[in-house]
C-alpha cells in the first residue's frame, strides 16, 4: 500500500501530540483530516486533560480521550490508518501492538521499524537538523494524503466559556474594554525554561507604565507558586486569576481578549498565535528553529552567543542557568513595544 492508497470508507485515527503547544500547532492538520472526504470516520486520540484545548470547535465530535490504556482504544476503534503526531516510541509501539494496518509517523525515538510509512527528518553531519515542529506535523500527515492548506493554528470557544472567562476578568477588576496583559510565567517542561519571577514582574510594571494595560496572571495548578511570586513582586495593581478558574478553556478567552501575552517558551504562546494576539516569549534552552512558525505577531527574546545554549535540558546541567539569568527586562519590554506596534488595539468585548 502506498502512502495515498486509502481503503474506501476507511477509518483514520490521529494520535495527537501530548504537549499543549504541539497540539495547537497540529490543529491545521487535524482540521484538514476531518474535512477529507476519503474517510468515513476520523478519530483524534489525546490525553484527557487536553480535551479543553480542542473543545467547542469542529474537532470536538472527533475527540477520543485516551483513558484506561491506549492499546484498548486502538482495539475498540480498529482504525485502518494511524497517523502518529506524537513522536514518542510508546505511541508507535501501541499502534503496532494493536495491529493497525498502516502506521504513519516521523522516524524519531528509534521507532522507525514500527512504522509502515515513515518520515525521516533531515540530518547534517550525523545530527538531526532542527526544523519547525509545525512543518514536521504537516509533512507526517501528508504521508497519509492529509494536506493542510496552511500552518496557522486554529482554536475555538463557545459563548458559555466566553461569558464565564469574562466574568472572571470582571470579578478581578478588569472590566469590558480595559486593556490587560496575560502573563503565564510557568513552564511544564521544567526549571530550565523559567525566567525569574521578579523579571516577569518588572516587565509587566514597565509595560503597564507605557500602555496602561494591567497584568493578569494565570498558570497551571502546579505553577501556583511562581504565579504568586510574580504577583508579589509587581508594583502596579496586577490581577491574578482565581485558582479554580485557571484552566485551558478559560485561557483561550483570556488570551483572545488580551492586548498582549507575556509568556515563557510554553504552550500559551500558541494560543496567542491562533488568535493573532501579540505575544512576547522568553526562550532559554530550546532551539528557536523548532518554534519558527506563526511569528507574525510574536517576538522571541533569547540570549545569543552562549556556548551551552540551546541544551534542550529540563534543568540547567551547568547550574548557572545563564540562558535565562542573562536575559534582561529591557529587552523584553522593547520586544513588547515592537510587537504591539505591528497590530492595532482590538475591540474584543
Domain extent listing, the chain: 10-142, 159-340
Global pTM?
0.93
Instruction: Please tell me if the domain spanning 10-142 has the same topology as the one spanning 159-340.
Output: yes
CATH superfamily of 159-340: Glycogen Phosphorylase B; (3.40.50.2000)
User: Within 13 A of 286's CA, how many CA atoms are on the CB side?
Assistant: 23
Contact 104, 137 (CB under 8 A): no
At residue 176, the pLDDT reads 87
Tell which residue, 193, 187, 188, 179, has the closest CA to residue 239: 179
H or E element: which one contains 65? strand 63-65
Phi/psi for 300 (5° steps) reads -100, 125
- DSSP class of residue 48? G
How many alpha carbons fall within 13 Å on the CB side of residue 48? Answer: 6
Mind listing the pLDDT tens digit of every residue in the chain (349 residues)?
445 565 667 999 999 999 999 999 999 999 999 999 999 999 999 999 999 999 999 999 999 999 878 889 999 999 999 999 999 999 999 999 999 999 999 999 899 999 999 999 887 766 778 889 999 999 999 999 999 999 999 999 999 999 999 999 999 999 988 999 999 998 766 676 789 999 999 999 999 999 999 999 999 998 999 999 999 999 999 999 999 999 999 999 999 999 999 999 889 999 999 999 999 999 877 778 888 899 999 999 998 877 877 766 777 776 777 777 878 999 999 999 999 998 766 544 3
Give domain 10-142's CATH architecture: 3-Layer(aba) Sandwich (3.40)
Distance of CA 52 to the CA centre of its chain: 13
Got the DSSP string for 214-271? EEEE---GGGHHHHHHHHHH-SS--EE--GGG-SHHHHHHHHHH-SEEEE-SSTHHHH
Alpha helix (H) residue ranges in the chain: 20-25, 27-35, 51-54, 70-77, 89-97, 133-142, 159-171, 197-211, 224-233, 248-257, 268-275, 322-325, 329-340
Pairing mode of beta strands 123-124, 127-128: antiparallel
Is the four-CA dihedral 226, 229, 231, 233 of positive or negative sign?
Answer: negative
Task: Give the neighbor-by-neighbor strand order of the sheet with 117-119.
Answer: 63-65, 39-46, 10-15, 81-84, 102-106, 117-119
Distance CA 114, CA 23 (A): 23
Cα-flanking dihedrals φ and ψ of residue 73, to 5°?
Answer: -60, -45
Place of cell 516569549: 281
pLDDT value for 348: 43
Contact 249, 49 (CB under 8 A): no
Smallest Cα–Cα separation from 199: which of 336, 326, 337? Answer: 326
Amino acid at each position: 500500500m502506498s502512502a495515498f492508497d486509502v481503503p474506501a470508507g476507511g477509518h483514520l485515527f490521529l494520535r495527537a501530540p501530548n504537549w499543549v503547544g504541539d497540539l495547537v500547532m497540529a490543529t491545521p492538520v487535524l482540521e484538514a483530516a476531518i474535512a477529507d472526504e476519503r474517510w468515513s470516520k476520523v478519530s483524534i486520540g489525546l490525553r484527557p486533560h487536553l480535551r479543553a484545548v480542542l473543545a467547542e470547535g469542529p474537532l470536538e465530535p472527533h475527540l477520543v480521550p485516551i483513558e484506561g490504556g491506549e492499546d484498548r482504544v486502538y482495539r475498540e476503534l480498529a482504525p485502518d490508518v494511524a497517523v502518529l503526531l506524537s513522536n514518542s516510541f510508546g505511541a508507535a509501539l501501541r499502534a503496532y501492538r494493536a495491529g493497525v494496518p498502516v502506521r504513519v509517523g516521523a522516524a524519531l525515538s528509534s521507532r522507525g521499524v514500527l512504522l509502515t510509512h515513515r518520515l525521516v527528518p533531515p540530518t547534517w553531519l550525523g545530527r538531526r537538523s532542527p526544523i519547525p515542529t509545525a512543518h514536521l506535523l504537516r509533512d507526517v500527515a501528508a504521508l497519509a494524503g492529509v494536506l493542510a492548506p496552511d500552518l496557522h493554528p486554529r482554536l475555538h470557544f463557545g459563548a458559555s466559556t466566553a461569558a464565564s472567562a469574562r466574568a472572571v476578568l470582571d470579578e478581578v477588576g478588569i472590566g469590558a474594554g480595559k486593556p490587560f496583559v496575560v502573563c503565564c510565567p510557568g513552564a511544564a517542561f521544567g526549571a530550565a525554561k523559567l525566567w525569574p519571577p521578579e523579571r516577569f514582574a518588572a516587565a509587566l510594571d514597565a509595560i503597564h507604565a507605557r500602555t496602561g494595560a494591567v497584568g493578569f496572571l494565570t498558570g497551571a495548578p502546579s505553577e501556583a507558586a511562581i504565579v504568586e511570586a510574580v504577583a508579589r513582586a509587581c508594583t502596579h495593581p496586577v490581577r491574578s486569576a482565581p485558582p479554580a478558574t485557571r484552566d485551558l478553556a478559560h485561557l483561550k478567552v483570556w488570551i483572545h481578549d488580551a492586548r498582549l501575552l507575556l509568556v515563557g517558551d510554553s504552550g500559551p504562546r500558541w494560543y496567542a498565535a491562533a488568535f493573532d494576539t501579540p505575544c512576547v516569549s522568553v526562550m532559554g534552552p530550546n532551539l528557536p528553529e523548532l518554534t519558527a512558525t506563526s511569528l507574525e505577531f510574536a517576538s522571541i527574546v533569547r540570549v545569543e552567543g552562549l556556548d551551552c545554549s540551546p541544551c534542550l535540558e529540563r534543568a540547567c546541567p551547568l547550574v548557572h542557568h545563564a540562558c535565562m539569568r542573562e536575559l534582561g527586562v529591557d529587552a523584553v519590554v522593547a520586544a513588547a513595544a515592537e510587537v504591539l506596534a505591528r497590530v492595532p488595539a482590538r475591540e474584543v468585548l
